[in-house]
Structure 1
Amino acid sequence: MKFKMNRVSQLIAAGVLLGGASFAAQAEITLLKQDPQANDPLSRLDFKVGGSIRPQVINTMGGSDKGSYKNNGYDGGTRFRFTADYFLFDDIHWVGYYELGVNIPAVFDWDHHYSPGANNTTRRQLYTGFKSDTYGTLTFGQQNSIYYDVVGIKTDNWNDDMLAQAPGNGINGDYDGSYRSRKMLKYKYAAGPVDLYAAYLFSDDDYYVGSTGNNLAYKRKGGGSIGANWHIAKDLSWGAAYNVTSAEMKNRAKSDSKDYDQHILGTALTWAPGPWNFSAGGGWYHNFLATKLSDEQNYFAGNAYGIEYYASYTIPVDSYAVKSVKPYVMGDHLKYVSGRNYSRTDNGLGVNVKFAYNFSVSYEHMFTNSTDNIGDLNLVRLTYDF
């Protein structure tokens, strides 16, 4: 079934049809609550479901995006998550997590509201492992990278973000180890106020770069990460992480290839006293950002760096179905030091209004100054959390 929808009806359909299915929904729903009883294996299981539905519109000023799916209204990252925790013995638990991304307009085949060729669904995360208060947590599968856990997440606070940090700028964060890393063995241990992390990245399948006719492929051969997150105080934490990935760029048309050692090193700080939230972070990227060339011998830029900042203040309302209003300022700067003449700086203003029944609306305006003359943009997102 194909039909066109205007921007307003797209937002209403995606946000209300699915989001409004349960007005009394909680931020997360517990289907099975863990309460171990003798001779009852199921009582050891805790099982939760949750998710977020996110229709949004982006308008680039100057009309450069007129008629685009983003300008018409599209899915801004709808996801559904399933969490399992099974008590084994002492303080040892088996854990599992699955997060599915759903492109609602693509599922319903709404013309001009999703990117051509976009998948209906995407596996965002899928991992399993064991956790213990004494020995730490060991998991394997596709999961958040250490870099994102301790650095990127601290400034991942607004909608049009991650424009200058490693998880949002590599060839593909699922493959290069920077974001939701595939085939990763990850360990976390709480040493007092400091969370220590280590990970190993196994070899992965080829990732074909579509813009080059599928002749150019990225191959992760291995890698690893370390990181630490220091909880300096209840509302203050500082994190740092380093990741190295051994990769190969292959050109099937020319039977040629080149090896790259990719490095990302970053740090970030977040401070959230009362209604305030301040965060800032930055990273250095070597052989990590693409040069936008169809050349395996020069695909990655030698060096680049990025910084991000965010500050917000939450005003409680609790009246007329409005729970709170949160104005915020945010920004970033990305700069290629070698391999490509490119830089981008964004500074913006935003506001988030939370309503009853887990609905919220965000508006953002970004002032952009970039080498490729990207226009300023306006973003509106409707969110329903459950």
Structure 2
Amino acid sequence: MSKPCFYKLLLSCTFILSNLTFAEITLIDEQQIVSESDRLKLTTSGSIRLQALNFDHYDQSNENQKYRRDGYSSNSRMYANADYAWNERLHLIAGYQNYINLPKMLDWDGHYRSSDENITTEQAYIGLRDSAYGTVKFGKIYSIYYDIVGAKTDLWNYSTLAQPQTWSPVAYTDGTQAAHKTLRYELKTDKANLYASYLFKDSTTVADTDVQYQRKNGAELAVDVHLNKNLSWATSWKYNDASLNNQQDKHDLKQEIWASSLFYFDGKWMLSFGAGWYKNLVPNFDAYSESSDFQLQSLLNTEAYGVEFYAGQHFKIEEYGIKFIQPYIMGNQLEYTSGSEFKRRDLGVGIAARFNHGFGFDYERLYTHDTFQTPDMHLFRLRYEW
């Protein structure tokens, strides 16, 4: 079977499965596999997200994003989770998450870049969960910083612009987004959730350069405190011992994040605020663009801070095929305190609508002021979730 035919078959099967139910789909749920008290459960879920970005005008800062005007896949994803319960207390778990680029898979010209991947694995891990002592996971896993702090303000579509994973040239190796070879521990209680992880050695090549980034090791800690049933406050710390290498030079560096965020939702109002400080993680854009002759140590010799906020009001409808409508305002700011002159601020308004049968629509109007003079933008997103 050719690849295009295979991808079309995969997409067809996805729609068939998702039309069975518009929530998490249970593929396997069997008891007494090995013993009288065990149970195996395999579930899947996901979303298809087609998005269009329409800038007020196009110039050097956004010329390479013209293909996005007519629609492209924006973080369409599929999840698979396995849970083998040896007994009521002890569970062997596994998780898998990927991004799927449907226009690329279906060869929809003009709606993807030739360099895009068809499928990108975001997470793939195994673990052991004990109801009393917590959960241990190992594999490719999202950073604790993003999962616990950054996700609290990742509530709008064009978000995380003040977080380091958006700007880092190696976000899947330095662990600002995710990282291979991560050992992670979680303990959840009524008062607070505690997290810790250790990142083993890993390396990659910085895109469009001959520079190799190597993470020698890393560590993360976080706590998410439940202030009350509607309000939580998370704080995280992240550290990497890393190096940059090319054919002429080597530069050792220490990378660090301190970040904190608040999230509130009472069924009507959804509010969040987050801030972070990033050392040697976001690049020096001038040095990065002059990859042929820049000083190696200047690439990540930076300090920056980021701030994000979101405020939305939830209107439950449950009529005319509409589940809810949520208008919101949002904003962020990223600014370097050393190593670069770059800064960016975004302010905007948006509305999210969710309909029956898993469909949804989002619109955002974003007003941007930054060093690159990025134009203002309209964002449209169609989504389908199961």
Whether the TM-score (by the shorter chain) exceeds 0.5 is yes
Q: Does 1:44 align with 2:35?
A: no
Q: Does 1:163 align with 2:161?
A: yes
Find the counterpart in structure 2 of residue 8 from structure 1.
Answer: none
For 2:343 and 2:167, locate their aligned partners in 1 and report how far apart those are by CA, in whole Å.
13
Give the superposition deviation at 1:24.
Answer: 4.3
Give the superposition deviation at 1:25.
Answer: 2.3
**8 Å contact from structure 1 (residues 360, 384) kept in 2:** yes
The superposition leaves residues 196-227 of structure 1 with CA deviations (integer Å, 9 ceiling, x where unpaired) of 111100001x3212222xx1111111110111
Q: 2:26 aligns with which of 5, 26, 30?
A: 30
For 2:235 and 2:320, locate their aligned partners in 1 and report how far apart those are by CA, in whole Å.
42
For 1:222 and 1:39, locate their aligned partners in 2 and report how far apart those are by CA, in whole Å.
40
Unaligned runs of 5+ in 1: 2-12
**8 Å contact from structure 2 (residues 359, 384) kept in 1:** yes
**8 Å contact from structure 2 (residues 186, 196) kept in 1:** yes
TM-score by length of 2: 0.90
- Aligned amino acid, residue 337 of structure 1: T
For 2:70 and 2:319, locate their aligned partners in 1 and report how far apart those are by CA, in whole Å.
32
RMSD of aligned alpha carbons: 2.2
**8 Å contact from structure 2 (residues 48, 385) kept in 1:** yes
Find the counterpart in structure 1 of residue 315 from structure 2.
Answer: 315
TM-score by length of 1: 0.90
Q: 1:261 aligns with which of 250, 254, 260?
A: 254
For 1:180 and 1:359, locate their aligned partners in 2 and report how far apart those are by CA, in whole Å.
28
Give the superposition deviation at 1:150.
Answer: 1.6
Q: 1:324-335 residue pairs with structure 2 within 5 A? A: 324-335=324-335
Q: 1:163-312 residue pairs with structure 2 within 5 A? A: 163-204=161-202, 206-212=203-209, 215-252=210-247, 254=248, 256-292=249-285, 293=287, 294=291, 295=294, 296-312=296-312
Give the superposition deviation at 1:311.
Answer: 0.7
For 2:20 and 2:55, locate their aligned partners in 1 and report how far apart those are by CA, in whole Å.
36
Size of the alignment, in residue pairs? 369
Distance 1:192-1:356 versus aligned 2 partners, 3 A rule: closer
For 2:78 and 2:190, locate their aligned partners in 1 and report how far apart those are by CA, in whole Å.
33
The superposition leaves residues 118-145 of structure 1 with CA deviations (integer Å, 9 ceiling, x where unpaired) of 1111011000010111010000011121
Find the counterpart in structure 2 of residue 141 from structure 1.
Answer: 139
For 2:317 and 2:188, locate their aligned partners in 1 and report how far apart those are by CA, in whole Å.
37
The superposition leaves residues 84-140 of structure 1 with CA deviations (integer Å, 9 ceiling, x where unpaired) of 010123501000001121111111222221123111110110000101110100000
For 1:70 and 1:223, locate their aligned partners in 2 and report how far apart those are by CA, in whole Å.
36
- Aligned amino acid, residue 134 of structure 1: A
- Aligned amino acid, residue 211 of structure 2: L
Find the counterpart in structure 1 of residue 5 from structure 2.
Answer: none
Runs of 4+ residues over 6 Å off in structure 1: 16-19
For 1:36 and 1:332, locate their aligned partners in 2 and report how far apart those are by CA, in whole Å.
51
For 1:216 and 1:102, locate their aligned partners in 2 and report how far apart those are by CA, in whole Å.
28
Q: Which shifted more, 28-37 or 354-363?
A: 28-37
Partner SS for 1:23: helix
Unaligned runs of 5+ in 2: 3-7
- Aligned amino acid, residue 274 of structure 1: G
Partner SS for 1:33: strand
Find the counterpart in structure 1 of residue 130 from structure 2.
Answer: 132
- Identical-pair percentage: 34
Q: 1:2-21 residue pairs with structure 2 within 5 A? A: 20-21=15-16
Q: Which shifted more, 285-294 or 330-339?
A: 285-294
- Aligned amino acid, residue 230 of structure 1: V
**8 Å contact from structure 1 (residues 208, 217) kept in 2:** yes
